[in-house]
Amino acid sequence: MKLDSPLRVLYVSYPLLTVSEASAGGAEQMLWALEREMSSGGMETTVAASAGSRVSGELFATGEPCTRPDDFERRNREHQDRIAELVHQRDRESRPFDLIHDKSGSFWTRAHEVDVPVLATLHLPRSFYPEDDFRNAPANVCFNCVSRSQAASFQDLPQLLGAVPNGIALDRFVCDDNVESQRSGLLWLGRVCEEKAPHLALEIARNAGLPIALAGQVYPFSYHQQYFQREVMPLLHAMPAARWFDSPSFSEKLHLLRCAEALLITSQVDETSSLVAMEAAACGTPVIAFHRGALSEVVSDGETGFVVSDVSEATEALTKMKDISQNTCRNYARQHFSSERMAECYAEMYKTVISRRTAIRL
């Protein structure tokens, strides 16, 4: 994707952990893929993220990633303060940013401190955000959602520009027939917390009598760590055919996706998207997902997997995996989940955000 004129864009990450090809969080993965496309397309990209992040353009390290539990508030203040300082510094150097793309979930609330248009991508369900933040949104902020179902809950926001579905770097998920011909067992992959409910995936595997690989990352929040110890570890110890992979690298994740008979998504909240479902489809792996939020927009029921209501239906759906074609999954991913398509949509949205800001100034 080539652009008529390069833009200087500052991407603001979630402050807790690093951004890289191996990030566990969906927002971090999506930022990595988007910034990669924009940088290769000619934009001057800067990513404000934790030290140790690996990006395509310039990295502005705002501090060390969190290692202590429940350190988010301090880290987020540090992150935001240093970003505001960077923006002012670039103004003084006559190298101002043309746009800030906020993917942190909260920097946009301080947009009144900078004279730059801000596009804030909303990655979470509306109930996860303080409602007062939207009532007092700065004038230089526009919003976008990542799915139709999510956007429907934000329709009252006057600054909402619409939805840009997430995408993935499909070139990183090429077919490997030697590996994929040896598929065995189930996979759950993601951020380990109560709302994602990996314990239900273990229950499904136990009911079906199938082995399962549980892979992901436990974030440095005490309630996530307590959930893992309370609900997940006992099941792992009680199930000899269950394996735990802590913070897998990208190559390890790719191997797990290619070798699984099916990916389980057992979320208990209304998901706004699902990068792991997209990655599974790109690997030819069927997905069984609970009917929550936008999961039915990502998983094509009966074509790339099955959308179910509960553990019982998920267990039953496993008996129909032979009906799902690996090639159909891959083709669906190529048609719908390209990061290049996502970047093209955002490039058009950037123009809208900048022109709106110019009109306000006039």
pLDDT band at residue 176 under the 50/70/90 scheme: confident
Q: Which of 106, 153, 114 is nearest to 133 (CA)?
A: 106
**Would the pLDDT of 153 be above 70?**
yes
pLDDT band at residue 177 under the 50/70/90 scheme: confident
pLDDT band at residue 26 under the 50/70/90 scheme: confident
The answer to whether 95 touches 60, Cβ cutoff 8 Å, is no
pLDDT band at residue 1 under the 50/70/90 scheme: very low
- Give the lowest-confidence range in 45-49, 92-96, 159-163, 357-361: 357-361
User: What pLDDT score was predicted for residue 25?
Assistant: 83
User: What pLDDT score was predicted for residue 4?
Assistant: 52
The answer to whether 241 touches 14, Cβ cutoff 8 Å, is no
- Classify strands 8-12 and 44-49 as parallel, antiparallel or unpaired: parallel
> pLDDT digits over 61-106, tens only?
999 999 889 999 999 999 999 999 999 999 999 999 999 999 999 9
CATH fold of 170-336 reads: Rossmann fold (3.40.50)
Q: Give one word for 209, left, alpha or beta, with left for phi > 0 and alpha for psi -120 to 50.
A: left
User: What pLDDT score was predicted for residue 357?
Assistant: 72
Strands (E), 241-324: 242-246, 262-265, 287-290, 305-308
Strands (E), 192-338: 212-217, 242-246, 262-265, 287-290, 305-308
**Would the pLDDT of 311 be above 70?**
yes
The tokens describing 154, both together, are 């934000």
User: What pLDDT score was predicted for residue 260?
Assistant: 97
Rounded to an integer, what distance in angstroms lies between the CA atom of residue 125 and that of residue 91? 34
Q: Which of 302, 291, 236 is nearest to 269 (CA)?
A: 291
The answer to whether 165 touches 342, Cβ cutoff 8 Å, is yes
Kindly report, as residue ranges, where domains of CATH 3.40.50.2000 are found in the chain.
8-167+338-361, 170-336
pLDDT band at residue 24 under the 50/70/90 scheme: confident
The overall average pLDDT reported for the chain is 95
Q: Which of 115, 111, 114 is nearest to 361 (CA)?
A: 115
Q: Tell me if residue 289 falls in helix, strand or coil.
A: strand
User: What pLDDT score was predicted for residue 360?
Assistant: 61
> pLDDT digits over 275-309, tens only?
999 999 999 999 999 999 999 999 999 999 999 99
DSSP state of 168: B
- Give the lowest-confidence range in 49-58, 78-87, 170-179, 246-255: 170-179
**Would the pLDDT of 3 be above 60?**
no
User: Which CATH architecture is the domain 8-167+338-361 placed in?
Assistant: 3-Layer(aba) Sandwich (3.40)
Q: With 0.85 as the threshold, say if the pTM is over it.
A: yes
Rounded to an integer, what distance in angstroms lies between the CA atom of residue 191 and that of residue 26? 9
User: What pLDDT score was predicted for residue 359?
Assistant: 64
Rounded to an integer, what distance in angstroms lies between the CA atom of residue 205 and that of residue 197? 13
Report residue 289: phi and psi, to 5°: -125, 145
The answer to whether 76 touches 110, Cβ cutoff 8 Å, is no
Is 198 or 180 the better-scoring residue by pLDDT?
198
